[in-house]
């Protein structure tokens, strides 16, 4: 529920003390318990209060109190509000459940772009701020422009690009996550761009298809908390309750993306019907990245390829292929060059192990692949490639047998061999794949790859 009330106009010629300004140009309350009574520390992560300005009326300030992360829009669609990120405060697991947690103590500030910060500070200094509905800030120049000219190359260095740019979407990713952060989102978006250029797709896709695909790729992990769905479920996180333990993270990413798009006003010129269609189709794409649905999507993909009945003139078939493309883009790290792939492997394992450390500390039961005492990067990556990546990209190569597909499979084979070499050095010979993957629910593991 969102409650707004207009406050008296603040004099714009008087500077606002720096300590009361949040990085969004808003005045934040120091404790959510002061607003909501703090009945249960677990509920603190879903509550937030802030004072912010309405861009349509720059002489007024509004108080926004969010008692729930969902905001019902005029269109009747509940979104996850930007800024309502599912921060995990692990102090809630202490035996003393009455510990009062203040918002200011959470230290969950995000990296904001200089341009948006500048616009906010200019407003509070009484300087006219041009109204902008761009999702991307105007920070692209010099080296960044040169890099963007090569964005269609598969060996594109997303880590370098991250150091040169900053965008509005980046605000809603958590920079403290080793893996699920804005760099991963940019990497997936760049991969998606490469797939959209493939002949079978480029000849058939409409501008609408391309737009939806790139937005979905950029926002597919929006507001990711850095832990997986089983963790959210076993800790009774509010998102698990909200989405009934089903595609919890993917639903949250989707609704957060919708909230971002609505707040930006980027598509305000479109009819309500088209905006709702866009939001729904973006949701279909993002929900397809749920790894627990891997076997279902892969089986459908195989069936279509076996029958040879994919018709990209059919909008439903195009949408399905875009779902598969986004799934490929999401887990394409092992298909990059070794220099890039190795960095991603180290980052995702670091995130896994961090979750495992927390689970050990609070006696939650360590999730598969998350125990740094028994797992290694090499074992995890070999299992990941064997059970998830190879089957998916083998089928993608059947659909689009191009130089790019063969390049990806080539890197995949070389990277797997490299990790096997590391594995042999570490253990003196052993399993080719992490047994933890075999212990996972067989329903989410695809069949052996088939090349034709």
Give catalytic residue positions.
180
Give the C-alpha separation, 337 to 42, whole Å: 42
Q: What is the DSSP letter of 396?
A: H
Is residue 183 marked as binding? yes
Is residue 184 marked as binding? yes
Give the C-alpha separation, 221 to 106, whole Å: 22
Give the C-alpha separation, 49 to 135, whole Å: 24
Of 77, 1, 92, 11, which Cα lies nearest the Cα of 45? Answer: 92
Alpha carbon 385 to its chain's center: 21
138-141, Cβ contacts within 8 angstroms, sequence gap of 24 or more: 139/113, 139/114, 139/115, 139/165, 139/166, 139/167, 140/165
Is residue 411 marked as binding? no
Is residue 355 marked as binding? no
Is residue 221 marked as binding? yes
Is residue 317 marked as binding? no
Tell me the pairing of strands 70-72 and 57-66.
unpaired
106-112, Cβ contacts within 8 angstroms, sequence gap of 24 or more: 108/174, 109/23, 110/23, 110/171, 110/172, 110/173, 110/174, 110/175, 111/166, 111/170, 111/171, 111/175, 112/23, 112/24, 112/171
Give the C-alpha separation, 437 to 92, whole Å: 30
Of 53, 54, 85, which Cα lies nearest the Cα of 69? Answer: 85
Show the tokens assigned to 230. 């089983």
Identify the burial level of 257 via C-beta atoms within 10 angstroms of its C-beta, where 0-12 means exposed, 13-18 middle and 19 or more buried: buried
Is residue 94 marked as binding? no
Give the C-alpha separation, 185 to 351, whole Å: 16
Work out the number of other CB atoms within 10 angstroms of the CB of residue 234. Answer: 13
> What letters, b where the CB count within 10 A reaches 16 and e where it falls short, cover 20-56?
ebeebbbbbbebbbeebebeebbbbbbbbbbbbbeee
Binding positions for Zn(2+) are 184, 220-221, 330
Known binding positions: 180-184, 220-221, 330, 381
């Amino acid at each position: 529920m969102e409650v707004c009330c207009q406050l008296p106009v603040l004099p714009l010629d008087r500077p606002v003390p720096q300590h009361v300004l949040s990085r969004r140009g808003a005045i934040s309350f120091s404790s959510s318990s002061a607003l909501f009574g703090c009945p249960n520390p677990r509920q603190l992560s879903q509550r937030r209060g802030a004072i912010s300005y309405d861009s349509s009326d720059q002489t007024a300030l509004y108080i926004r109190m969010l008692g729930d992360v969902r905001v019902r829009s005029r269109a009747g669609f509940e979104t996850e509000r930007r800024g309502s990120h599912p921060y995990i405060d692990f102090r809630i697991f202490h035996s003393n459940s009455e510990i009062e947690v203040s918002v200011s103590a959470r230290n969950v500030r995000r990296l904001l772009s200089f341009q948006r910060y500048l616009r906010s500070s200019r407003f509070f200094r009484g300087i006219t701020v041009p109204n902008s509905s761009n999702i991307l800030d105007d920070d692209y120049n010099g080296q960044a422009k040169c890099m963007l000219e090569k964005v269609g190359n598969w060996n594109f260095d997303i880590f370098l690009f991250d150091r040169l740019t900053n965008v509005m979407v980046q605000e809603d990713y958590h920079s403290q996550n080793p893996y699920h952060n804005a760099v991963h989102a940019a990497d997936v978006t760049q991969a998606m761009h490469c797939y959209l250029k493939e002949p079978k797709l480029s000849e058939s896709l409409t501008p609408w298809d391309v737009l939806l695909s790139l937005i979905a790729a950029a926002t597919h992990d929006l507001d990711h908390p850095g832990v997986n769905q089983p963790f959210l479920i076993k800790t009774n996180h509010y998102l698990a309750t909200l989405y009934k333990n089903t595609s919890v993270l993917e639903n949250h990413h989707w609704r957060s993306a919708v909230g971002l798009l609505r707040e930006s006003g980027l598509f305000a010129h479109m009819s309500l019907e088209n905006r709702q269609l866009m939001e729904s189709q973006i949701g279909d794409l993002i929900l397809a990245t749920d790894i627990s649905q891997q076997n279902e999507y892969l089986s459908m993909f195989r069936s279509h390829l076996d029958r040879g009945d994919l018709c990209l003139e059919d909008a439903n078939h195009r949408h399905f292929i875009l779902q598969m493309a986004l799934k490929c883009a999401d887990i394409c790290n092992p298909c990059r060059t070794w220099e890039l792939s190795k960095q991603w492997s180290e980052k995702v394992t670091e995130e896994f192990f961090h979750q495992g450390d927390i689970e050990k500390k609070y006696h939650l039961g360590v999730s598969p692949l998350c125990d740094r005492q028994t797992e290694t990067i090499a074992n995890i990556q070999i299992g990941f490639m064997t059970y998830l990546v190879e089957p998916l990209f083998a089928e993608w190569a059947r659909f689009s047998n191009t130089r790019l597909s063969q390049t990806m499979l080539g890197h995949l084979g070389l990277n797997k061999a490299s990790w096997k070499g590391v594995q042999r050095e570490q253990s003196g010979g052993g399993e080719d794949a992490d047994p933890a993957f075999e212990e996972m629910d067989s329903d989410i593991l695809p069949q052996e790859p088939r090349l034709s």
